[in-house]
Structures are given as structure tokens and as C-alpha cells.
Structure 1
Amino acid sequence: MSMQTKQHDLLTELCLDFGKKAVASLLEASTLWIKKFPNGSHADWSQSMISHALSQLSEHEPYWTFIAARIHLHDLYTKQRSPNIYTDFAAHITQLVALGLYDPILVERYSREELRLIGNLITPERDKLFTYSALQMMMSNYITRDADHKSVELPQERWLLIAMILMQNETEQRLEKIEEAYWAMSHLYMTVELPTLLNAGKLQKPGDNKPTASTNYLDVYHIGITKFLDGMIDDKVIYIPDLFMEQVESRGHWHLFDPHEVQTVMGYSLADFYDEKKGAGSFREKYMACVQHPKLNKKTIFAIDLMKQIMHSQLTTGFPHICYTDEIHRKKMNKHVATSEYTIVATHPTQLTHSSINLGRVVPAGVLERLITIQVRMIDNAIDLNVHSKPIDVQLRGLLLGTTGWHHLLALNKIRWESTEAVEFADELYENIAYLTISASMELAKEKGAYPLFKASEWYSGEYFEEREYHSKTWEKLRTDVASNGLRNGSMTAIASHSSTAILAASTVGIEPIIQKYYMEEQLDGVIPIIVPDLNPETRWFYKSGYFIDQQWTLRQNAARQRHIDQCISLNLYVPNTIQAIELLDLHVNAWKSSLKMTGTIHSHSNSLYFLNNAISF
């Protein structure tokens, strides 16, 4: 097929799909380019047409991102295997295993006939779901490449390989489960964590799959807390008990200790305790014992002064994240796990067990139950395949099933962010997600057995259901079934912010509001345009920038949502750089009083010069 024929066929297809009027400028640009470069290559033509499409992209003509993606796809198909796109998957796998690019496990665990049947699942049409930014990110960052750094894989093959790796140890109806996993990913109904996206099916070389750098944690009563806040460290987390927030509100004193000295003098670690009830409990008892002990050194400051330093750091760097430890432990289902060990598990779960539901696609499609059923199995399988799993991970078999695309879903449903309707919608939706997730884990327990610590958990005792006031007949039946059959996973739901996977899913980030309807995102290989999904005259008014949203409504939504999330929600807050200190403090106090477990990064328009240059008084 000649270059001109390929180009003509693509342009004809785009006219049919988007309308000739919509792509008229592209047709004109193509005609002018061919006149100017009659002997030009197809790759150069494609790049020029992509540039033209992206130059047309705007809030008023968002469809150009899909046109640019289609041109990019056509170029990829031509470069790699045209005209035999997505054909003979078994031969493709075998060849890349022989070249040392794919893991031999793919041909060891799957027969040639199975590979043929699996290859038949590929649906090329689903490549058309990609926006340009999603496709560019996939091809630049995650696709398998050869020794010359040329891509040897197409997007649907990446999804299928992930499904094969995660289902490799299934013993019953394995091909059907691979088909379901592929269906979920290729429709962009879910996201997978970046290590799996990057590494699944590839032959790992020594050092390829190193654990990511650990987050830096510190308790707010630690003697080194002020230096920790001033230090040049990203991804900082502070553990804050109720007692500290009470002292902030009352403008009382706060005492800092050396944990080693506390252990030596008192014979215990404060990190092993928490307040079992609001306003009372073992942590404050042990803490006050430290305060009153004559041989224990302490540094006394005003709690509000330390809170000012925390807020100062947040507005200048975005960090630290804040974890309200008492609430985390009061709500945990596995109280028999050591307090200090569980805190890290609850606030920073194992990365390889993370996945998110793409709400903006799944809920309108009515496939939430089908998706969660396969998604829970996929994440559970990842626990056994994760070489970095710790003993506590295997004992708890904790999942991190999150959500993305919340603002997208609100816009599609024409629900304003700052509304009671949005709060009620969050409550209803996340209760449904909790129910479906627990049900899916229970069904897995029937098949594969409950997690080792189940019988000592609040899942088994029913306290989990009591605390959340799940008393409907549907919930009562599930509670009885869980007690009888067990759960495969000791924790299941959490929400973290992953902007990269949200871009791949062509959705909005996590549970956060958008920043802009259209903007440029800087990636390793350049700048790519991002436009919010399904932007049209009807949804436009429901896409409000986070910087202009009253964050108290964000807190209300999250308080409703948190009731149904058994781990932490990393809730980022968006504030103008002109925010008064008292307003930011009010957000923190309300987050704590709303029984949130965690708040994440504080985003402001720019640095907090206004905050720094104005006297902080309360």
C-alpha cells in the first residue's frame, strides 16, 4: 500500500468518525504538506498532522486530542507491523521471549494453543479510547522496547500481558479470567499501579524492579519535629494524635520527647498507643505520664506555634501530609496488628497492590459490580507476585482499591462540586463500592481461603459493620456471610492521588477537583496537552478549578466518603496563595473533627509569599 493511499484511508476514516467539517483544516494542512514535500516520509507527514491537530485543540474543540491520537496510532501501526496489526499473538510472544525482552514464564505457563486463544481477545478498536496524552504516555513510558530503544509492543498487547501475568497462577477458568481482566483495562475502566504497568511480562534485569524510596514519617511529639519540617525532604508525613489538635484549639502547650529516652525511662514507646475513644484513651495517659516524669527530658512549646510551622511548610512545599493516628487506629479492622506497624500499612500500603476504578467511565456504563469482581482478584493475585511483600502484607493481604475520575463523574451527572447533592452522591456511591468490594473479597475467600488474621478481626466479629451503621437487610446478610465464609483481604479500600494513571485513563485525578480545563503537562520526553474528559457546553459549568472551590465542601464530601473507606484517603487541598492562616487552620481542624484519617498535599497558586509576609495571628 502506497504512502498516499495510507494517508487517504486515514483521512477518510477521520471524516467519517468526526465529520468532514470538523477535520476540514486537517485536510487542508495535509494537502499543503504533500505539495511542499512530495517525497516526504509517512512518519514526517504524521508528525506534522499531529502538530496541526494539537494546535487546534482547545476547550471549545476538545475532540482534536482524539484526532491526534488516531494519527499517532496509524503511524505506530505502520512502523511496527503494518498491515498485520495485532495478528499472531503467539508468534509475537515467542519471538520477544527468544529476544530476551519478555519473561520466559509467558511460554512456560501458557501453551501455544492458549497463547493463540488469548491473542483472539485483542480488540484493536479500543485503541481509539486513548486521548493523545494517554497514548503518548503509554508509548513513551510503559511499552516494551528493544535494545535500540524501538517500541516492539502496541497498547492492547500491554493490557493483555498484564492480564496474563496477574492470572498466571489461576487454576480454574484461567482464560476467562484473563478475558475479564483485559476487558477491564482495555476499556479504561480501571488503572493499574505503575510498577505493574511498566514491568508485567518483561524480562527483568538486576536492579530493574527496585522498591521505590520510602516515605519519611515522624510523630508530632518527636524532639526532632521542627528540624524535620525545615529539612529539604519531599513526601513527608506527620502522625498527629487528637491530643495535639485539642491543644492547638485551646492554644495550650505541647511537649516534645526523644523516643529512645522515653523507651529507656518509661519502658514503652508512645507510638504503640492511641486513644480508643474521642477524648480518652491510652495514648494521652502514657503521654501525660511522660510529661509528668521528673527524669524524662522534654521540650515545651505552644502547640499553635508548631501548627504554624506545619502550615508554613505545607504552603511552601506542599508537605507534610497529616495522618490523624487515633482515628486510623479506631477505625482499623485488625486491631490485633501492632499499632506502630499498622500505621504505616494503613497510610502507605504496598505499591504493587494498588488499582483504581475509573468512575467517569464505569458508573455511566453500569459495570461497577462486574469490574470490582475482577479487579479485586487482580490486586489480590499481585500480592503473591510481589517480590517486595513483607510478612505483614502476606498476613493481612491488604488491597488498595481506589477511585479516580470523581470530578469527571460529577460533571457528567451535572452535579456542582459545592453542593449537598455532591456530598450525598459520594456517600451513596462509596457505600456501594464498599459493599461490592467486601462481597468480592468474600467470594475469593470461599475459593482461596481467608487471610490468616481474619478470625481475630472486626470483620469477623461484626464490629466493622456496627461502627459504620450498616444495618440494612442487604448489609446484614453480607455481615452474616462474611462471618461464615471469611474475607480474602484484611483491608481493601483506600484512595491515593496518582496523576499519571489518571492521564492514561483519560480521566480527572483521583477524588480531586480539576485545576484547569486545558493545560500542558511536562513529561520526560516533552510537554503534552491535557484536556478534561467529556468537555462540552453541558459539562463545562461543572468543571470548576480547585483553587476557586470552597475546600470545606471538599472536606464534607470526604467525610461522607471516609465512612466507607477502610484505609486512608490522601486528600489534597487546593488553596489560593492569599489564604489567611486562620482559614487554613480551620480546614485542618474541620478535617480532624470530620474524623478524616489523613490529608495530603496542600496546593497553592504559587509559593506562599502572602502567607510569609503577613503576621500570623489567631
Structure 2
Amino acid sequence: MQTDTQTSPTASGQAPQDNQRDETLAATAPGQLRVIKRNGKVVPYTDDKIAIAITKAFLAVEGGTAAASSRIHEKVAQLSEQVTATFQRRLVSGGTIHIEEIQDQVELALMRNGEHKVARSYVLYREEQSRKRAEKAKTTDTAAPAQGGGVQVTMEDGSTAPLDMARLEGLVIAACDGLADVKPDKIIGETVRNLYDGVSIRDVNTSMVMTARTLIEQEPNYSLVTARLLMDNLRAEALQFLGVAERADQAEMEALYKDALKAYVFRGIELELLDPELGRFDLDKLGAAMKGERDMQFTYLGLQTLYDRYFLHSNDVRFELPQCFFMRVAMGLAVREDDREARAIEFYDLLSSFDYMSSTPTLFNAGTLRPQLSSCYLTTVPDDLFGIYGAIQDNAMLSKFAGGLGNDWTPVRALGAYIKGTNGKSQGVVPFLKVVNDTAVAVNQGGKRKGAVCAYLETWHMDIEEFVELRKNTGDDRRRTHDMNTANWIPDLFMKRVIEEQEWTLFSPNNVPDLHDLYGEAFEKKYLEYEAMTRDGRLKLFKRIPAVNLWRKMLSMLFETGHPWFTFKDPCNLRSPQQHVGVVHSSNLCTEITLNTNKDEIAVCNLGSINMPRHILPEGGLDLVKLEKNVRTAVRMLDNVIDINYYSVPQARNSNLKHRPVGLGIMGFQDALYMQKIAYTSPEAVEFADRSMEAVSYFAINASSELAAERGSYATFEGSLWSQGILPIDSLEILARERGDEKYLNVDRSQTLDWNKLRDVVRTQGMRNSNVMAIAPTATIANITGVSQSIEPTYQNLYVKSNLSGEFTVVNPFLVNDLKARGLWDNVMVNDLKYYDGSVQPIDRIPQDLKEIYRTAFEVEPRWLVEAASRRQKWIDQAQSLNLYIAQANGKKLDITYKMAWLLGLKTTYYLRAIGATTSEKSTINDGRLNSVSAAPVAETASFEQAADVPQACSIDDPDCEACQ
């Protein structure tokens, strides 16, 4: 039986010309799967080697009889296809896989298909081969330990030299320093065993990284070790390019960072990548303030993400080191401050400590020649051809410089509406949305990430039924948008009609133009007038349907395609501080921004997030002193973005400078619960959501008011809710009054801080920013800082995460530490977690208290997510990106969940993550095979009410939205 499934039987002794051929094959197949062998070489992925290995495993158990041969052949073909399909699904655009990952997947496939005896044989053989390699390495190490077995290394200039074992050992030992339960000898020994004569110095470093990487699932601290070893490659690449040094270890970098910053800034200016103004900072002072030891706090996923997508580069050479990166962002945000060196150091300290992180566009572009630092843009599309295509051009320009887009399409007349200019009839909204979809694909944010846009349509628009079907995989493809996002902009009146099972009337907006700008009681009054006009013949173009039927279709499409999202017009407007100067017509790409838009104003929002785990006291609870200090600095940084920002369209500049909105959010909420031993499914978690957001809200509003005292209030402050002393918590009363019936709003009103004092401060001192808070998804910046994203529950406790930087093993360190404390963490537990897709619930030996704390997202009832979101929403002047996870999803569950979201006062919801009943539990059936799960959407013929009987997986291709953060 061959254990190296992607190498020939003589891999370790492969001829040099074969190695060269393999490298050529790998190099000529970009976008294809490639395999990292134990010696660090990269070769093409071929499934025939997998088939050979599995065949030998079967033969070792069942023998080679004629009777067994046919079955073995069929099973091998099936299993090989499953293993390959797994990697193709994870790495759609190609990528690299370590040999150990392939073997793990083969082992898992055997177990999941009920071939337990064969799997056991395969595991035993792997262990035997591993023992043999270890014995061989011992012999090699005994013969020549100081020289690494006599291995000659090819240096960057082509010369050769003996492997520097002292340096290799020093790097690994330094990478493991201060970390519990990691073994330097294990990494050193395996690295040396994988080397061969003539190996390049780069492959030596790669071998160290890959060796450490394979151990992450056994011990989360190996993620930090892997990142520190990766840092050696990053340092060498950047320092050589800058001419500062050939190589340097972490200890040497403490002294080198000062010189590196200076060389980096001037080289960046020379290459026309950095703003020349950065060269006029006191770089010696800033260099002395940098903290090189903070390079040691990255996880592997975080550092690799920065390296691949954020660090500045020239001809694919990254010359930006982590602390230089944070200082560059800090300098870019402090460039207009009076004492800019002091402010740059303050901003740098906040970013590099991971206490707070700016959003992705700010990290991409701060300090560059085009500092497009804003995250979100909201537009309203007018009802004329010139305006429509102007809006699409605006989309392209805003997307080019890394902005996420939300478009309000409600004003555009519906299918069949009269066009006076041509005496014809309109084709409606849908054909234009197809163009918007293709524009988002074509303009991919400067090659850094996918372009992303969300179209919003109000629920009374006559095209709404076709709009909700835009993401379907069936039907006329010319009327489908497979890449863009969509959202329902739902008025309260529709929700009341659904609950009361009344009729609902659809209109074309050119016949009812004022509905677009009305909300609350005013909307309801006018809507009833238009309905009366349909009954007496004054209004001809309309459609009347039962509200419940449309509601069910909305839920059905959401379940099947993930779209359109449910967002609520009235709470967004009635609780908006800016209702005196305009209307909120939509949210943004990720549903957390609620700002006014019109033909002259494209709303802009600038985002950043407080890292909650960094503000938890050792004994539990929030460190309010630290939180207040950091929120004050964060709001200042966000306000600076508005003046520094590069605006690609004039309407965005006009809006942003007039209203100055920002969106301070939070991330790592789940980690903060873990630190306090609080289960997400508990009243304590809901209470923590309430109290933590109350504190952030209080400090953020106060910080903006302090900035107003220093810099002046925003231009449209007078007449706002702020100017009347009405804070976000107070605006709930406006919503309650407008809904008119207590049964339609059920929100906790408790508070603990001195809000009367803050009301007086805001009234007299003013506000620098029209809006201050919004909770964004934080998918990527949470990766960088190594915490759970946004307000999300843990997806799985052990899983492989795929993003644009590749594949990364992610294991819940809090769970691992708790299991260690109880003597339960071992290889068997690792395998159990893999087998049960990261869930602890089916593992009998895990105590019940830990099972409650470590429930995964689909094991948390959605009511807890909605209740916690409601408690946060009462303190937020904008909204929050709220994903809803629903296991055993069916029509009734969705109906209850989304009605509850509205009744509890939520402004918006984001993705629905739904799995049907057949995927919620794995059990062994009679033939010994595990239940298979289909990733296909619900069949067209399936009843929505019975959808739980259809195998379901989340229909979202990319569950981590990275468009905002």
C-alpha cells in the first residue's frame, strides 16, 4: 500500500530530472490543483495516485480474489472521485494542498463510506510509514546532526552551502517561544527529513511552514508558530528588496524596523505607490515607536491574508512588513492632524495591538496616492435612461476603488408601464439589473477582490415578484443575476397585512411617485389612497395579491437562493437621526448602513470595528476604561477618513462632507462569550449583547460630541434627532408610536449608564458625525486579528476555511484549552471533531456544560440570534449585518424567525444560512454508510412547506462576505 498518494513509490529518491519535470508541470498549470510533498516540492495533483493508494488498502484487507475485485474497482473509483471533488470544491480557482491533507481526506472518505476495516488498515499503514521515516531521520541525524545530514542548500544567487542547522533550529525555537504545548523538535526533525541535496533556501523555509501548518488541528498554538515561521520568508523578501539586510530573525528585527520603515516609505514614494507626504513625517520618531514584537501575535491565516492581499508590492515582491503596514495606515489617517506624529503613533498603537481594526478599503489604500478609504456607497437610481446608465457608471467607478455598493431601484418604473417619450411600454427593472450584475463582475475592485453590489426594491413595486426570482438557477437566464445580491425593502404596512392575512397591492412607481419618499403613518395614509384609486378606476396599472402569498414566495426564494434579504424600511427611517433632511431608501451591500440618498447625494460610510475579546477583564465583564479610550481614538480615525478620502464621483463627496457619517462596529463577540464561559444560547449572552453595545454606543456618541467641540458639528446637525436630545435608545419611542399597536413592537428598554448626562452634552456640544455606529461583517479583518467575525456564532469548532489566500485549518482554541484542562484533548478527539464536522454535540465524553458553550452556528436556535440583535439594535443609530442560521429549516421556521425579527425592532437582516433536516444530524443507517448531503437547491417541484425533506446545504457560494471588511 502506497501512503504518499501523490508521489511515486520512489518519491524520496526521485531523480533530479523528474523533480525538474514536476516543477515545470506545476508552473505551467496555473489555476490547477498542486500538491506540496514532504520535501517541500510542488507537483501537479493527479487522482490516479489516490486510486492506487486506496486500492492497496482494500487489497490488504479483502485480498485479490475475483469476487472482491469488481467491488474494489467500483469503490476505489467512487472514493477517488469524492476525494478529488472535495478539493476542487474547496479550491475552485486552483491552489496547493499538502500531502498530509490528501491522506487525511482519503481516511475520512473511507470512514464516511462505512469502510471501517479498510480505514483502520490505512491508518495503521500511515503510522508505520511515519515510524520508518522517523527511524531513518534518527540515523541521518546521528551521522551528521550539525550539518543537517550533509544537505547542500542552493542559495538565492545560485551558490550552494551546507544547511545551516543552527539558524534553522534558532528560527523554530524562537517561533515556539512562549507558547504552550508546541514542540520545536517535532518541527525541526520533520523539516530536515523532508529536505534533499540541492534544495533551495526558499524550499527550506516552505518546508518549515508546511510542517508546522499540518500540526494546527492538533494544537491551535501551531497556527502562531506557522505564522512566525512564515514571517522569516516575509522579512527576507522585504528586507532584500529594500536593501536593509539579507535576512533577519525576530530579535534582529527589533533594531532593524526603524531603518526598514524609512527605506520602505521612500521606496514606496519612488515607485509611486505611497503619498509623498508620508516622507515628510519624522520617520525616526515613528520608527522608534514601532513594536516589532507584535509580529508574533498573528495566526497563520491572519498573516497569510495580509501578505497575499494587503501588503504593497512591486512586480509581485512584497516589500511591506507588518508593522510598517500598520504605521503606513496610521500615517495615512493622521496626515492632516496638527501633531501628526503623535496621532500617527496613537493610531498605530490601536491598530497594531489588534484592539481595533479599520475596514479593508482603509487598510488597502491609506497613505497611497488614491486613498479611497470608505467601505460603502448607497445610491438611488432615477427613472430615466440617462440617469440609469449614469448610476451604472457610478457603480463601476466606486467599485474600481474597493467600495461595496447598495443601489435603490424602486423609482424605476415597472414592466408594462407607459413611456411618454417613446409612446411605448417599459421593460421594467430586471433587464437593467442584468447589466448591473455584469458590471460588478467586470470591475473587480482593482484585482484585489470581487466587485460587489446589492439591489434594493420596495415590496409594493410591480416587479417585486420577478425581482425575488433573480437568483434562481432556472428560467430565462437573461432575466437572472447570478453574481449580485438583492434585498427587499419592506414597509411596516406590508408586515401588518401579512400578519392580518389581508390583500396587498402592487404599483408602478411612476404612477405613485411619493410612496418612495414616505414612511410610517404618512406612507400608510397615501398607500390607502392609491388603493382606493385602483378600485374607482382612476389608477389602471396595478396588481392585487394576498400579502401572505407574496410573503411565502419571498421566504421560499430566500431559502432556495439566499436572496433577496429582508430589510425593513420604516425602522430604518423612523429611527434615523437625519430624517429632517432626507429619506433612507436602502441599505448597503452588507445591510448595516442606513443613510439618506437622492439624485444629488450618494451616501458614503466609513467602517471600523472594536475587537471585543481585547476588552474583556480577566475576571469577566468589560474593561470600560480601556474601551472608552479606544473608542475615542477609533472615532477620531473614522472622522479623519472623511476629509482624506478619495472620491471618484462628486455626489459622494457632497454627501460625505455634509453629513460626515461613520460606522463603528464590533467583532469577536463569540470569543468574548467564550472568555466569560457564557453560552450563546443563554439569557447571559443576550444581556452581554445589550450591555456591551450600550457601552460602545455611549462612548462613541460622546467621542463624536467631543470632536464636535474641537472641530465643529456636521453641517446638517440642526434639526436632527441629535439636536433635539433624541438618542438612538430614545428613537424606539418614535417607532412604537408610528406602528400604532403595542403588539407590533416588543423591544427591551433597559439601560444602565447615565444617558441624561449624555443627552445634555450632545444638545449643547453638537455632533461631529450624523451617524456613528454600524456592525459590519468583518470577515477579513477578523481573520487578520484572529477572532470570530462580527457578532456571529462559531461556524464549526474545527474546519478548513477557504478564501482568496487559500485553505487554512481553523480550530477553536477556547474549546481546545477547556478540553485540555479536563484531560480530554487527544488525537481521538481531533478525529471525532473532523468526523462530526466540528460539532461537539454527538461526542459522548464531552461534558454537557462544554457542549452548551461550544454549540456551533446551526446548533444555536435563531431566536437567540434575533434576541441578541434586538438588544444591540436599540443602541445603534444605523444597523447590523445579521446572518441567521436555521437548522432543519422549513417554511414555518422561516416565517416565525423573520416575523420575530420585525417585531423585535430589527432594521435589517443579512444572509440566511439554512440546512434541511437531513443534514442536521449524521447517523449510520443499515448499510453502514453515512447519510449523504446534496448541495443542490430545493427542486422546483418541491413544496416549500416540505422543503426540510429535501437534502439542503447553504446555497451561498461564498459564506464570508468580504466586500465591506
What amino acid is aligned across from residue 786 of structure 2 in structure 1? A
Counterpart of 2:31 in structure 1 is none
Residues 574 and 731 of structure 2 are in contact (CA less than 8 Å); yes or no, is this contact kept in structure 1? Answer: no
1:485 positional shift: 0.9
Deviation larger for 330-339 or 587-596: 330-339
1:470 positional shift: 8.4
1:501-525 Cα distance to aligned partner (Å, 9 max, x none): 2111211111111111222222334
Counterpart of 1:93 in structure 2 is 265
Residues 195 and 352 of structure 1 are in contact (CA less than 8 Å); yes or no, is this contact kept in structure 2? Answer: no
What amino acid is aligned across from residue 516 of structure 1 in structure 2? Q
1:568 positional shift: 1.1
Give yes or no for the alignment of 1:290 onto 2:549. no
Deviation larger for 117-126 or 81-90: 81-90
Give yes or no for the alignment of 1:589 onto 2:747. no
Alignment of 1:10-409 (within 5 A): 10-18=171-179, 22-33=183-194, 36-58=195-217, 60-81=218-239, 82-83=247-248, 85-88=256-259, 89-107=261-279, 110-111=280-281, 114-146=282-314, 148-171=315-338, 173-204=339-370, 209=401, 211-213=403-405, 214-231=453-470, 232-233=480-481, 234-263=484-513, 269-275=514-520, 281-293=521-533, 294-296=537-539, 297-340=541-584, 347=593, 353-364=606-617, 366=623, 367-388=626-647, 389-409=652-672
Residues 408 and 533 of structure 1 are in contact (CA less than 8 Å); yes or no, is this contact kept in structure 2? Answer: no
Counterpart of 1:278 in structure 2 is none
Aligned-partner Cα distance in 2 for 1:163–1:402: 19
What amino acid is aligned across from residue 397 of structure 1 in structure 2? R
Task: Please list every run of 5 or more consecutive structure 2 residues that lacks an aligned counterpart in the other structure.
Answer: 1-160, 240-246, 373-396, 406-452, 471-479, 596-602, 733-748, 820-849, 916-934, 948-965
Aligned-partner Cα distance in 2 for 1:548–1:607: 22
Query: SS where residue 261 of structure 1 aligns?
Result: coil
Query: SS where residue 454 of structure 1 aligns?
Result: coil
Query: SS where residue 559 of structure 1 aligns?
Result: helix
Aligned-partner Cα distance in 1 for 2:778–2:311: 19
Counterpart of 2:38 in structure 1 is none
Alignment of 1:444-459 (within 5 A): 444-459=707-722
Pick from 903, 912, 928 the counterpart of residue 602 of structure 1. 912
1:231-272 Cα distance to aligned partner (Å, 9 max, x none): 133321211111111111122211100001223xxxxx2021
Q: CA 1:166/1:431 → structure 2, altered by over 3 Å: closer, same or farther?
A: same
What amino acid is aligned across from residue 22 of structure 1 in structure 2? K
1:387 positional shift: 2.5
1:91 positional shift: 3.2
Aligned-partner Cα distance in 1 for 2:673–2:721: 33
Query: SS where residue 18 of structure 1 aligns?
Result: coil
Query: SS where residue 260 of structure 1 aligns?
Result: coil
Aligned-partner Cα distance in 2 for 1:6–1:103: 38
Pick from 537, 541, 547 the counterpart of residue 858 of structure 2. 547
What amino acid is aligned across from residue 561 of structure 1 in structure 2? R
Q: CA 1:494/1:612 → structure 2, altered by over 3 Å: closer, same or farther?
A: farther
Q: Count residues with an aligned counterpart.
A: 598
Task: Please list every run of 5 or more consecutive structure 1 residues that lacks an aligned counterpart in the other structure.
Answer: 264-268, 276-280
Alignment of 1:432-511 (within 5 A): 432-464=695-727, 466-467=730-731, 474-511=754-791
Q: CA 1:602/1:6 → structure 2, altered by over 3 Å: closer, same or farther?
A: same
1:4 positional shift: 3.1
Aligned-partner Cα distance in 1 for 2:806–2:902: 40
Residues 444 and 488 of structure 1 are in contact (CA less than 8 Å); yes or no, is this contact kept in structure 2? Answer: yes
1:529 positional shift: 2.6
1:343 positional shift: 6.2
1:141-191 Cα distance to aligned partner (Å, 9 max, x none): 010001x211011111111111101111011x3222111111111111122
Deviation larger for 362-371 or 131-140: 362-371
In angstroms, what is the RMSD of aligned CA positions?
2.6
Residues 173 and 184 of structure 2 are in contact (CA less than 8 Å); yes or no, is this contact kept in structure 1? Answer: no
Query: SS where residue 615 of structure 2 aligns?
Result: helix
What amino acid is aligned across from residue 174 of structure 1 in structure 2? R
Q: CA 1:332/1:352 → structure 2, altered by over 3 Å: closer, same or farther?
A: closer
Q: CA 1:154/1:262 → structure 2, altered by over 3 Å: closer, same or farther?
A: same
Aligned-partner Cα distance in 2 for 1:329–1:204: 33
Aligned-partner Cα distance in 1 for 2:216–2:672: 22
**TM-score for the superposition, normalised by structure 1:** 0.91
Aligned-partner Cα distance in 1 for 2:604–2:191: 45
Query: SS where residue 598 of structure 1 aligns?
Result: coil
Counterpart of 2:962 in structure 1 is none
Residues 177 and 374 of structure 1 are in contact (CA less than 8 Å); yes or no, is this contact kept in structure 2? Answer: no
Residues 213 and 222 of structure 2 are in contact (CA less than 8 Å); yes or no, is this contact kept in structure 1? Answer: yes
Aligned-partner Cα distance in 1 for 2:753–2:353: 34
Aligned-partner Cα distance in 1 for 2:487–2:944: 26
1:209 positional shift: 2.2
Q: CA 1:427/1:611 → structure 2, altered by over 3 Å: closer, same or farther?
A: farther
1:46-92 Cα distance to aligned partner (Å, 9 max, x none): 2112212121111x511111111011012222333233642322233
Pick from 518, 526, 537 the counterpart of residue 806 of structure 2. 526
1:532 positional shift: 3.6
Aligned-partner Cα distance in 2 for 1:472–1:511: 22
Q: CA 1:53/1:557 → structure 2, altered by over 3 Å: closer, same or farther?
A: same
Aligned-partner Cα distance in 1 for 2:547–2:349: 52
Counterpart of 1:423 in structure 2 is 686
1:612 positional shift: 6.7
Percent of counterpart pairs with the same letter?
28
Higher relative contact order, chain-length normalized (CA < 8 Å, sep 6+): 1
Query: SS where residue 609 of structure 1 aligns?
Result: coil
Q: CA 1:249/1:165 → structure 2, altered by over 3 Å: closer, same or farther?
A: same
Aligned-partner Cα distance in 1 for 2:677–2:402: 43
Q: CA 1:395/1:55 → structure 2, altered by over 3 Å: closer, same or farther?
A: same
Aligned-partner Cα distance in 1 for 2:755–2:693: 14
Query: SS where residue 456 of structure 2 aligns?
Result: strand
1:82-108 Cα distance to aligned partner (Å, 9 max, x none): 33642322233112212223222322x
Counterpart of 2:125 in structure 1 is none
Q: CA 1:554/1:607 → structure 2, altered by over 3 Å: closer, same or farther?
A: farther
Aligned-partner Cα distance in 2 for 1:491–1:406: 22
Counterpart of 2:945 in structure 1 is 616
Counterpart of 1:516 in structure 2 is 796
